Amino acid sequence: MHDTQRPMYQEQLSMFISEITGYVELHASKILPTTFPIMEPEIIKELTQTATNIFKDEPSLLETNSDIVIVGDLHGQVFDLIRVLDTCGMPDKQKYLFLGDIVDRGEFSIETIIIVLLLKVIWPDQVLIIRGNHEFRSLCSNLGFGA
């Protein structure tokens, strides 16, 4: 990623996070309506390409020697992701390992994967992601998250 892209991605992440930070329970219980910013398709395409390039450069065996927050099976539950980030801190202070199954089933799969990819491209060495079975086209398209 070019350093010139980092501020744009940080701004996008801030827009997503600031919408519900501090009010997660009110949004999750639908007391407050949840609206996320609309990202232009070109930015989403660029984000996914940037993340793909980072993944291609990573070894297939991920090693870490530091404390790490392990996040499993979000399944599109963006409020759970925000709760984890609120509790454990952002990746500039805490390393994360996402165990896959980020999308599918939940109401906010697109928003969840966008936030995780934004975290990855902003802090590539602090955010590790293992692909889960729900990130394979055959499974996620059968359960409602497919292109």
Q: What is the pTM of this model?
A: 0.85
Residue 114 near residue 145 (C-beta atoms within 8 A): no
The pLDDT value given to residue 62: 80
Looking at the DSSP bridge assignments, the partners of residue 96 are: 69, 127
CATH class of the structural domain 6-142: alpha beta
Higher pLDDT, 133 or 72: 72
User: Could you give the angle at the alpha carbon of 84 between the alpha carbons of 32 and 124, nearest 5°?
Assistant: 120
Contacting residues for 50 by C-beta, under 8 A, at least 6 apart: 1, 5, 9, 121
Q: How many helices (H) and strands (E) does the chain have?
A: 6, 3
pLDDT in tens, 5-64: 788 899 999 988 887 777 788 888 888 888 888 889 999 999 999 999 998 999 888 888
Query: If you average pLDDT over every residue of the chain, what do you get?
Result: 84
Asked whether the predicted pLDDT for residue 145 surpasses 60, the reply is no
Band (pLDDT 50/70/90 cuts) for residue 2 is: low
Tell me: pLDDT of 134 over 80: no
The pair of structure tokens assigned to 109 is 């799969």
Selected catalytic residue, list 2, 27, 75, 134 = 134
Nearest to 34 by CA among 107, 139, 89, 117: 107
Q: Phi-psi bin for 17: left (phi > 0), alpha (psi -120 to 50), beta?
A: alpha
- Is 134 an annotated catalytic residue? yes
Question: Domain boundaries in the chain?
Answer: 6-142
Indicate if the pLDDT at residue 114 is higher than 90: yes
Give me the pLDDT at residue 146, please: 55
